[in-house]
Amino acid sequence: MATSYSQVPKDEALEMGIPAEVPPSGDPSDKTWLMYLSESEKYDKAISDGWKDDANGVLVPGLFSATVAAFIIESYKKLSPDSGGQTVFFLQQISEQLSGLSNGTYVGPQDYPMFSPSTSIVCVNAMWILSLIVSITCALLATLMQQWARQYVQLPQLRTTPRERAHVRSFLFFGLKQFRMSYAVELIPTLLHLAVFLFFVGLIIFFFTIFTTVAIIISVSVGIFSIAYIALTILPCVYLNCPYRTSLSNLSWYAGHTVVRYFMALFLWIEEFFHVQNHLVDWRERFERYVKDHDRRRKDGLGKSVANRAQSAPEDRELQALYWFLHVPALSEDGAFQNFVSTLTGDTVPRLLQPQAPDSQSSSSFGHRLHELLLTCLPGTTGLTPSAQQHRLLTCLDTIYRGVRAYNLAPLDQSGEPIPDSIRINFAELRTMRVLWSDQGTAVRVRARCICALLARRILRDIGHRRHPRDADLSWLAAVFDKSSNEIYNSLDNLAGADSMNLKSFVRGVQSPLLERGLTNEEITSILDTLIILMDAENGPRRNSLQEQIRALTQRAENIGCLQQLVTPLLELLHKMFPTDVSVPIRMPTPGASQSRS
């Protein structure tokens, strides 16, 4: 087939008598027809390649025909009288006559019995000859199929303009549809399968006339093969994603849905004939829908039904495909995996990062691979240029943020069971984010801190809600983390001078109330570990007075207007927990004042 509709390969053109260059016709619609031909070429190539693949199996019918012919050579002899048997019969008769003469008795001549082949021999030869005829017919049809495919591809190329080529192609294509060419293609393997079964039946009958034990063994073997063949034929009709099928699967699909459809139609007719319309109204409507559904499936065929089923639940299909793609060798390199991560959009990242995903705790899961990729571009690592390192950092952080953000919207765990593994894994991510707080790039620093806030939000909210669903303190703080981090992440361009917040005072203040509420040591350690990682202990001022720390938080909030909603609930919570420590109430600045000062 030509690779372009304006030019045919020179060697093929010379053989086919086609001009190598298609002169421009000057028709304004040429662009339209070239687009049509470009798309139809892909479709036609797939069709012709499929035909040729089926036709290339002509070698199999040829070898099978030779095998059947060898058996026929031995079996057809039993359809005619045995000349050796006749000779023996007449010699025996002569011997009896000579013996009678010597004894003085007369032995009259006997007629040779009329030959009549047995029914089994006739059946054997009929089966094998039919098998030979069918297999040779398959070879002939395969040869014709190659000729038809070549003609379908070459005839449009004989025209010189895109419009004429499109006309010829459309004429031939709808001819294929009208004369059901696809059924003719499927007929070749079907006939070959029929020839094999005819041969097996004849083989069983043949050996029953010779040796029963061998015939029984052959019958059992053929029976097992037949059951397997029937199962392979029906399985794709029940399970549409089953890869095993035969050439009769499409026929089984059509016949099965036809039977079901007429059975349901019969039920509806009986219901209408007997005027049963009270308690079967719902059933009638349901059966009418079933009849229409089976009628549609019967018309669509098995192939189209498989495609329609594949389009159902597309999110699950996409997720399965991406899980498989994560394990291909092409993504084993960090660069290739980074390119793959950068192409993910929408809610794909959250679904890949969800804890219930297959092998989510495995080292080959998307979450672990993403974390390992992030570790390759941390400060101090080598092997990447500064620009490449920055690009990989931002790619990883943006992907993690999308996943953690969606994970926070998942339902809370109120089972009261020990801390899930997903929460424990978050601590490793928190520590990695903590390393990035000292990055020289403001965009990386702010992204890392926002991700820390989201991770802390989920951990605190899970633990607090599981242990004390009615206690608003931890869930309140989690909601603040969620809202503030989202606002910060969406306003990164306005945070060139962002600084970290010191939450050490809150860690100290919340420790004793947690003990009083009956949390386990493991849960308290998890909460405090989260908050310690979240705070900036190295750069934060060290003050002993709680009031000074509150004022320090207030001062930081004045410099960072976007963090004000995070500081205000913390101050209120500290006032409630330690009212005697705070002698002078602290008033938070208004947003306008914060923005003007910043």
Q: What is residue 191's predicted lDDT score, i.e. its pLDDT? A: 87
Q: Are 169 and 44 in contact (CB under 8 A)?
A: yes
Question: Amino acid identity, residue 461?
Answer: R
Strand partners, 21: 7
- Looking at residue 577, its pLDDT comes to 39
Reported as a single tens digit per residue, the pLDDT across 379-414 is 777 778 888 888 888 888 888 888 777 766 555 544
What does the block give as tokens for 233?
């034929």
What is the 3-state secondary structure of 300-328?
Answer: HHHHHHHHHHHHCCHHHHHHHHHHHHCCC
Task: Name the residue type at position 75.
Answer: S
SS (H, E, C) 387-443: HHHHHHHHHHHHHHHHHHHHHCCCCCCCCCCCCCHHHHHHHHHHHHHHHHHHCCCHH
| Amino acid found at 474 | L
Q: What is the pLDDT of residue 228?
A: 92
Alpha-carbon Rg of the chain, whole angstroms? 41
Cβ count within 10 A of residue 226: 12
Considering only CA atoms, which of 6, 42, 51 is closest in space to residue 27?
A: 6
Write the burial class of residue 528 (CB in 10 Å: 0-12 exposed, 13-18 middle, 19+ buried): middle
Length of the chain equals 598
Per-residue pLDDT reduced to its tens digit, 565-591: 444 444 444 444 334 333 323 232 333
CA distances to 10, 338, 433, 448 from 445, in Å? 61, 20, 9, 5
Using DSSP, state whether 218 is helix, strand or coil: helix
pLDDT at 217: 92
C-alpha–C-alpha distance, residues 591 and 557, integer Å: 10
Give the number of other CB atoms < 10 A from CB of residue 279: 7
- Write the CB contacts of 404 (distance below 8 Å, at least 6 apart in sequence): 353, 451, 454, 455, 458
At 134, give phi and psi (nearest 5°): -65, -40
- pTM metric for this prediction: 0.56
- What amino acid occupies position 240? L
For residue 334, the tally of other CB atoms under 10 A from its CB is: 16
Q: In percent, how much of the chain has pLDDT > 90?
A: 5
The rounded mean pLDDT for the chain is 66
Structure tokens at 247: 């050439």
Task: Look at residue 104 in the predicted model and tell me its pLDDT.
Answer: 66
Which pair of tokens denotes residue 409? Answer: 């919207």
> Rounded CA gap, 155 and 169, in Å?
8
Low-confidence ranges of the chain (pLDDT < 50): 1-23, 278, 280, 360-361, 363, 413-425, 467-476, 480, 483-485, 487-489, 491-510, 529-551, 553-598
Tokens at 544, concatenated:
């002993």
